[in-house]
């Protein structure tokens, strides 16, 4: 486990001493990316020297490599320290920050720059090799909620302007919650997408608790999961009592979207906002904001650049 003051700065004052300039930022990234030895991306050689431009020159093949090449910092016109400060600000705020807030605090000339930075960072918030939810005899509550504006002028069409989001939450014993997973799904292909979500995010041996919806029994049988449905009609229990963890997380998600993001969340990019909420919630017990910053920088050096035209592309 990384330690404050040894592997990362624990406070803003320590941050200013830790990475006072771009050269210090490059050295920090090099340690995260290559560890104690540089590794050439072409020949995988370890023998290299630094040029006056801050590049690593491989002695074996002569390839010059930047520590930011292939990362979200690649070809950025802004100083690395501004990136580091943006990540610190993003992680140090309990509920994150909106693009407008980031634009104001860093003095960007345009809203678009702040929006692009936040979306680049959101893509670094999910590790592709992260652990599955649940496990042997661990209880996971699962259901869906709807995100978006209210439909107007459409009687009987309750969710016309909303996007469906699947929510899965570990129950902690004797009380409390564990980790979560969120995924935006297409309601027109609901059964198939629920199956894929459970297959890729829920571990074998998990006890899956859901409402009485008919899609779940067939899915859990196929995936050999223990299923404990709660029929809300028969039990006459309010949903928030039958599935308390799930409804608590869904409520926090909607409050975060309304409060921090001011409901300015497009369905085209909703999945990445869900990734940010998951990143924060699953690290809510961390005593050090610096550790969140460290994890984000660590993942940023392993995340593709994602230029603006890719960020703006609809999912």
pLDDT in tens, 158-202: 555 789 999 999 998 777 899 999 999 998 899 999 999 999 999
Residues 122 and 170 in one domain: no
Tell me whether strands 56-58 and 207-211 are parallel, antiparallel or unpaired: unpaired
For residues 121 and 21, state if they share a domain: yes
- What's the whole-number mean pLDDT along residues 272-292? 92
- 202, two tokens: 């829920």
Residue 276 included in any domain:
no
Q: Are 273 and 265 in contact (CB under 8 A)?
A: yes
pLDDT of res. 153: 46
Distance of CA 147 to the CA centre of its chain: 18
pLDDT bucket at 15, cuts 50 / 70 / 90? very high
Q: Are 206 and 169 in the same domain?
A: yes
Residue pair 178/172 in contact (Cβ under 8 Å)? The answer is yes
| Residue 284 within any structural domain of the chain | no
**pTM for this entry:** 0.89
Handedness of CA 38, 41, 44, 48 (dihedral sign): negative
- The tally of domains found in the chain comes to 2
Question: Looking at the structure, do residues 80 and 183 belong to the same domain, yes or no?
Answer: no
279: in domain: no
Residue 250 sits in the same domain as residue 159 = yes
In the numeric block, the tokens 């670094």 are attached to 124
Taking residues 248-252, what's their average pLDDT? 95
Which pLDDT belongs to residue 154?
A: 52
Residue 148's CATH number: 3.30.420.10
For the record, the structure tokens of 253 come out as 């998600």
Residue 164 lies in a domain: yes
Residue 168 shares a structural domain with residue 216 = yes
In a domain, 304, yes or no: yes
Q: Which domain holds residue 93?
A: 12-128+289-311
Length of the chain: 315
State yes or no: cis peptide before 38, omega within 30 of 0: no
């Amino acid at each position: 486990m990384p330690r404050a003051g040894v592997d990362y700065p624990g406070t803003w004052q320590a941050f200013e001493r830790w990475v006072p300039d771009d050269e210090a930022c490059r050295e920090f990234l090099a340690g995260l990316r290559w560890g104690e030895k540089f590794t050439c991306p072409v020949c995988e050689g370890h023998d290299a020297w630094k040029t006056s431009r801050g590049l690593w020159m491989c002695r074996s093949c002569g390839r010059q490599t930047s520590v930011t090449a292939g990362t979200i910092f690649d070809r950025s016109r802004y100083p690395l320290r501004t990136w580091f400060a943006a990540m610190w600000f993003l992680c140090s705020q309990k509920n994150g920050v909106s693009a407008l807030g980031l634009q104001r605090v860093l003095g960007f000339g345009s809203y678009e720059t702040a929006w692009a930075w936040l979306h680049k960072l959101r893509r670094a918030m999910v590790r592709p090799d992260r652990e599955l939810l649940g496990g042997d005899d661990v209880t996971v509550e699962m259901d869906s909620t709807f995100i978006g504006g209210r439909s107007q002028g459409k009687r009987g069409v309750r969710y016309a302007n909303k996007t469906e989001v699947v929510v899965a939450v570990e129950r902690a014993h004797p009380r409390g919650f564990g980790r979560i997973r969120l995924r935006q799904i297409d309601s027109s292909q609901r059964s198939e997408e629920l199956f894929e979500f459970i297959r890729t995010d829920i571990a074998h041996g998990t006890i899956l608790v859901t409402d009485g919806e008919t899609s779940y029994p067939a899915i859990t049988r196929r995936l050999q999961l223990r299923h404990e449905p709660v029929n809300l009609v028969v039990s006459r229990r309010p949903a928030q009592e039958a599935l308390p963890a799930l409804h608590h997380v869904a409520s926090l998600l909607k409050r975060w979207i309304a409060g921090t993001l001011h409901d300015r969340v497009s369905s085209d990019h909703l999945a990445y906002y869900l990734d940010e909420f998951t990143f924060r919630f699953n690290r809510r017990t961390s005593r050090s904001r610096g550790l969140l910053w460290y994890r984000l920088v660590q993942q940023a050096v392993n995340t593709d650049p994602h230029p603006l035209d890719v960020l703006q592309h609809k999912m």
